[in-house]
């Protein structure tokens, strides 16, 4: 179980045996059931997550509808925007499958960063990769039609098509469920 985290980090840099042990020993896990809410809109957060198994969806309510912000799956880090801050969350975090998480907190994070500066350095590098990836996704979104966005998602995150419901996917793609239904029908014929 701990291995997954080490494997993930090892993609970016060499993890010394010492650091590996420190991470393994301090690792803390939690299990959630499908439908469990990790964070509520208006709530506070002192936890960040690394997904070992399962899927988390972030969403908020607008005009009485759920608007999906993001889907997080295996090997992804979820840091609530209000993590370690005393401001209320703007969104929900919900497990849309049974989910196993590695859970972090500000105190542990600080302790680890102080003890192993290379870990904070690695976090910076990963954060910058996340920024670059995010910008690419956003750009793709802005320059595409709803149909193209659906096709792009099919190509880049095909697993989500099975894991999430259509109305969740629709709002993630910035469209109405009816439109997604029609797009799928249209593409069937081709």
Partner DNA sequence: TTAACTCATTGACTTAAGTTAAGAAATTAA
Partner DNA sequence: TTAATTTCTTAACTTAAGTCAATGAGTTAA
Please identify which residue in the block is written with the tokens 């499908």.
34
Tally of CB atoms within 10 A around 150: 22
Per-position x/- string for 36-75, each x denoting binding to its own copies as judged by CB under 8 A, each - no binding: ------------------------x-x----x-xx-----
Cβ at position 113, least distance to its own copies in Å: 7
Beta bridge partners of 67: 60
Per-position x/- string for 117-156, each x denoting binding to its own copies as judged by CB under 8 A, each - no binding: x--xx-xx--xx-xxx-xxxxxx-xxx-------------
**Considering the rule CB under 7 A, would residue 190 count as an interface residue with DNA?**
no
Tokens representing 188 are: 């069937």
Q: Which of residues 82-121 bind DNA (CB under 7 A)?
A: none
Report d(CA 135, CA 106) in Å as an integer: 27
**Considering the rule CB under 8 A, would residue 103 count as an interface residue with its own copies?**
no
Report d(CA 129, CA 151) in Å as an integer: 24
Q: How far is CA 146 from CA 46, 85, 165, 172, in A?
A: 36, 35, 17, 11
Q: Which of residues 161-180 bind DNA (CB under 7 A)?
A: 165-167, 174-180
State which residue, 32 or 91, has the beta carbon closest to its own copies.
91
Q: What are phi and psi of 63, to 5 degrees?
A: 55, 40
CA nearest to 14, candidates 6, 23, 26: 6
Interacting residue with DNA among 43, 147, 151, 157 (CB under 7 A): 147
Report d(CA 50, CA 74) in Å as an integer: 8
**Considering the rule CB under 7 A, would residue 183 count as an interface residue with DNA?**
yes
Interface residue list for DNA (CB under 7 A): 145-147, 165-167, 174-185
Interface residue list for its own copies (CB under 8 A): 60, 62, 67, 69-70, 79, 81, 90, 113, 117, 120-121, 123-124, 127-128, 130-132, 134-139, 141-143, 171-174
């Amino acid at each position: 179980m701990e291995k997954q985290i080490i494997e993930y980090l090892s993609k970016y840099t060499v993890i010394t045996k010492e650091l590996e042990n420190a991470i393994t020993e301090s690792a803390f896990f939690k299990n959630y059931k499908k439908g469990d809410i990790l964070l509520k809109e208006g709530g506070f957060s002192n936890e960040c997550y690394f997904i070992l198994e399962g899927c988390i969806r972030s969403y908020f309510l607008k005009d009485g509808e759920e608007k999906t912000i993001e889907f997080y799956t295996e090997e992804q880090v979820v840091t609530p925007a209000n993590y370690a801050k005393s401001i209320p969350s703007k969104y929900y975090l919900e497990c849309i499958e049974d989910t196993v998480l590695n859970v972090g907190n500000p105190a542990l994070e600080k302790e680890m960063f102080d003890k192993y500066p290379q870990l904070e350095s690695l976090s910076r590098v990963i954060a910058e990769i996340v920024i670059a990836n995010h910008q690419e996704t956003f750009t793709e979104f802005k320059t595409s039609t709803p149909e193209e966005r659906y096709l792009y998602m099919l190509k880049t995150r095909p697993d989500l098509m099975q894991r999430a419901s259509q109305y969740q996917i629709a709002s993630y793609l910035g469209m109405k469920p009816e439109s997604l239904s029609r797009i799928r029908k249209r593409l069937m014929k081709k």
